[in-house]
Structure 1
Amino acid sequence: MTAADGAVQQAELGGRFRRGLGLSLLNTLLSRLGTFLLGVLLARLLTPDEFGIYAAALIVQMLLLTFNDLGAAASVVRHSGDVRPLLPTAWTVAVCGGTTAFVLCLVIAPALATGLGSPGATDIVRLLAANVFLDGFAAVPGALLTRELRQASRMVADLSGVVVNLTLTGGLALAGFGAWALAIGHVAGTFVVVVVLLCVSRQLPRFGFDRGHFGEVGRYGITVVASGIVIVLSNAVPQVVTGSVLGGTALGFLYVANNVANWPVSIVSTTLDRIALATFSRARDRGVDLNRAAGEVVGMVGIAVLPGGLALAILSGPIVEVIYGSVWAPAAHVLSALAIAAVARVLTDLAFHLLLAVGAPLSSALVNVSWLVALVPATIFAAMMWGLVGVGWAQAVVAFTVAVPVHAWRLHRAGISLGALAKGLAYPALAGLLAVTGLLAIRAFAESPLLDVALGGALTAAIVGVGWYARRHHIDRALNGASPHRPVATFREGS
């Protein structure tokens, strides 16, 4: 390949990243908006106990979805060269994994629901397990769209599922189906997403097995799965502890608080999940300076999540009162802490993608294990001492005192410059300081919760918008800045 050809490919990667980022962000925003509006409606139709039952079932589903494809999707995204020979093996692994997880959930659903403090959720757990089976058929076509940064096609599939989910759930809730409305709508939406993914990717299941390709799936897939399981367990710890120690009603309050806390986090994190690994993997293959690229990506992510997380923490009370009503006021007490913890989760999620890109999958799993090991006793102790508020602050303290430092250390060992990452975070830190100053002034002088939310939201959106506009071309330049004579950082797991 000539130097001119390389330059064209680099420019193509930068352009595809920008388009993919924009479409993925739009997809996420529209999906979250629909889910948010439905959540507001259901919060006024359902009781906290009903929300608690659904939340318990959802925890089980999220855990199963983490490992049901056994890493086949991640292997397809990361694979170098022609991916077609890998696909039959990937299909076999993904569908077998989803089917196994589905059957397992049917059998152990009573024990899982009881362990979460919601025995009444057993049948809903079993229904939601159908999503795990369906997701086995979505893994390969979804991974192919992600690999090719075809976010327009992915958006069609996702939004089709959202429309079906929201329509069916809202209708059933109004008809008095309670927590079942959420579960039925969720499964129906997933079915639609799978069908559309198969159509837009022009992929039908093609099963086969190749020992060499299975080894590739296993080499990266198993460690990705292990890390994913640990992450989901870490996310589930506050729900499990709250349900078992404080009861189902407290779990309902935590569900609402966690949902609000994850607004900025889930928007940015979901957007990056669909493009980060694919972009870093292609950039790695083309000799891009990953230090510079990582610093710019961290900067872009930080501009969104740092002011957003701080805004949620400062405006937690007014937000819950205005949106959900005074009956959900206890959720505001834990929201502030969860909003701070959510910022750390985005940064560690980005570190996870970087570790995969530089060839350190085992490292990505080990750092999350340390997070989980610290989180479990801290959350139990905090719940027993300070109740629901303690659960929230345990997440924030452990995230910033254990998870972030350990991830940073492993990135350094993997050859990623911490100086480049710190430089990327300088602009977000300034944006966060401006946000805190303005939000505290608004809380001091605004006369109503609605005014707090309106003015605080406008200020935060303005800070994020200006920050993204000011740095809109930095990512493009970083991805286009190949360094053919400079070796890409590599990691030795035993170092």
Structure 2
Amino acid sequence: MPILARLLTPEEFGAVAVALAVVQFLAMIGGAGLASALILEPKEDAETIHSVFWANLALAFSMAAGLYVFAEPLAGWFGASDAAYLLRLMCLLIPLQLAGDVAYALVARRMQFSRDALWSMISESIAAIAAVVLALVGFGIWALVAQLFVAGAIRLVGLFFVSRYLPRLRFRLEGVVRLARFSLGLMGSEVANFVTFQSPMVVISRFLGLADAGAYSAANRFSSIPNQVVLSGVMGVLFPAFSTMMHDRERRSQALMLSTQVTTLMLAPMMFGLWALAKPSMLLLFGPQWAAAWPVLGLLALSKGLLTPCSTFIPYLKGSGHGGALFWWAVGRAAATTAAVAWGAHDGTLIEAMVALCLVNAVVLVGYSWVVFRADGTPFLSGFYRSVRPMLTAALMAFAVRLALDHYLAQHVHPVLQVGIGIALGGLLYAVLVLLTEGPLLRKLLELVRRPRTAAVASLP
């Protein structure tokens, strides 16, 4: 990401980001939530699985054809008229993505996440290398496009390999219709969540132009790395895990609180730490042409940091049978996020739009927690305090690092050392604060780590 940012322009990043947002939205609608419904099926029925695959593929090609035909008016509406040619090419990503949905559903049902993670790592690594090579030899924006296609193709092969799934020419409409009835609620919430995450890009492109959209895209991709590292596996595991606890309220409630505390414990220091070190990080990693965008990176990290306790809420509501609550909350959150960013960007700047995003996310944190703890039957105040406590600790750590940076390190130390010293100082402060505030959680985690070893030793002759 930093290498590509030094070789390409903000406008190029913005054009690809806007086109990708459209493609992903149509791919989500085209899937109709059928793969998610397969995960919750009591057993694997071959005829239903094949039927979902062919239904997904037919919808995918229909969506791709529609995007190809209406590429120019769509690009103009998003404020990116020059990106119509990208939409026509990137429409092929829709069938490339949906062709693997059934295979991923089988992987999730069987909890084969370690194998899937290996292929994800391979696909993203090879795609990143290909993009950098193409950018170095002068392919410009096509390096970003190639990255998407290479990653998608390798990921598709990996999913079929891990799941051992081979499509056959079998189709039963009744099975697809049955799953579609159930999946519509899940799809509605997923569409709303997608709008929440992608609407800022569309709003910024429309009101502020492709250059600001590119700055937002680069900062957003970089600030999303901690979420991708921690949550990409966790959220995939939690959905089927919570679904198995649907009728065991006590076990489900304990799993919700533990998973929320642990993900916040890991994610919050990364996000708030990135806020503290945004300025030297942007200059060091992205280069002088992006240096002015460091407040955008910092504010995006802050907005994501505020939501770290919410990381487990979506799989919890999906897996525990609270699809209605998830849908209405997702719709409200999408509307609030879009309105806040539009309000900040309409007569202001990109920074003002990001400030508005931070404010609405603070409200979302409280509201989302209330919805989930009410659905779980957990007292709101006690559940909310336990879930946000690691976040407050991380915020205190980041504030101390930011003070040290602003009042001493920035004037006397090179950006490389600023980042290194900031990480070391933040890590030390956070470790001390966690030991002081999260003793019961740490003892619980230690117990969980020791339990399999104890069981293994006890089984020895």
Q: Deviations over 1:89-115 (max 9, x none)?
A: 332332233222222221222222222
Q: 1:294 to 1:188 in 2, by over 3 A?
A: same
Name the residue aligned to 1:134.
96
Structure 1 residue ranges without an equivalent (≥5): 1-38, 480-495
Structure 2 residue ranges without an equivalent (≥5): 435-440, 453-461
Name the residue aligned to 1:410.
371
Name the residue aligned to 1:245.
207
- The answer to whether the 8 Å contact 1:435/1:463 transfers is no
Q: Deviations over 1:392-434 (max 9, x none)?
A: 1111111121x22332232244234133453243344334423
**Deviation of the 1:478 alpha carbon:** 12
**Deviation of the 1:127 alpha carbon:** 2.1
- The answer to whether the 8 Å contact 2:260/2:311 transfers is no
Are 2:50 and 1:88 equivalent residues in the alignment? yes
Q: Which amino acid aligns with 2:445?
A: R
Q: Which amino acid aligns with 2:86?
A: I
TM-score (norm 1): 0.81
Name the residue aligned to 1:189.
151
**Deviation of the 1:172 alpha carbon:** 2.0
Identical-residue share of aligned pairs (%): 23
2 CA distance for matches of 1:469 and 1:80? 36
**Superposed CA RMSD:** 2.7
Q: Tell me which of 316, 322, 336 is aligned to 1:360.
A: 322
Name the residue aligned to 1:177.
139
Q: Tell me which of 428, 442, 455 is aligned to 2:421.
A: 455
Q: Tell me which of 381, 385, 395 is aligned to 2:343.
A: 381
Equivalent residue runs for 1:305-454 within 5 Å:
305-401=267-363, 403-417=364-378, 418=380, 419-420=382-383, 422-446=385-409, 447-448=412-413, 449-454=415-420
**Deviation of the 1:270 alpha carbon:** 1.6
2 CA distance for matches of 1:136 and 1:240? 23
Name the residue aligned to 1:79.
41
Q: Deviations over 1:283-330 (max 9, x none)?
A: 336676111110001101111222222112222111101111121123
- The answer to whether the 8 Å contact 2:341/2:356 transfers is yes
Q: Find the residue that maps to 2:445 and give its secondary structure.
A: coil
Name the residue aligned to 1:27.
none
- The answer to whether the 8 Å contact 1:109/1:126 transfers is yes
Q: Find the residue that maps to 1:239 and give its secondary structure.
A: helix
Q: Which amino acid aligns with 1:239?
A: M
Paired residue total = 439
Q: 1:415 to 1:476 in 2, by over 3 A?
A: farther
Q: Deviations over 1:45-96 (max 9, x none)?
A: 1122222222221221232232332112211223334555642333233223
Q: 1:82 to 1:250 in 2, by over 3 A?
A: closer
Q: Which amino acid aligns with 1:232?
A: F
2 CA distance for matches of 1:115 and 1:475? 52
Q: Which amino acid aligns with 2:21?
A: I
2 CA distance for matches of 1:72 and 1:350? 22
Name the residue aligned to 2:266.
304
Name the residue aligned to 1:57.
19
Name the residue aligned to 1:274.
236
Q: Tell me which of 109, 113, 118 is aligned to 2:75.
A: 113
Q: 1:458 to 1:126 in 2, by over 3 A?
A: farther
2 CA distance for matches of 1:278 and 1:478? 23
2 CA distance for matches of 1:471 and 1:271? 21
Q: Tell me which of 167, 187, 192 is aligned to 1:225.
A: 187
TM-score (norm 2): 0.87
**Deviation of the 1:373 alpha carbon:** 2.0
2 CA distance for matches of 1:461 and 1:97? 48
Q: Which amino acid aligns with 2:365?
A: V
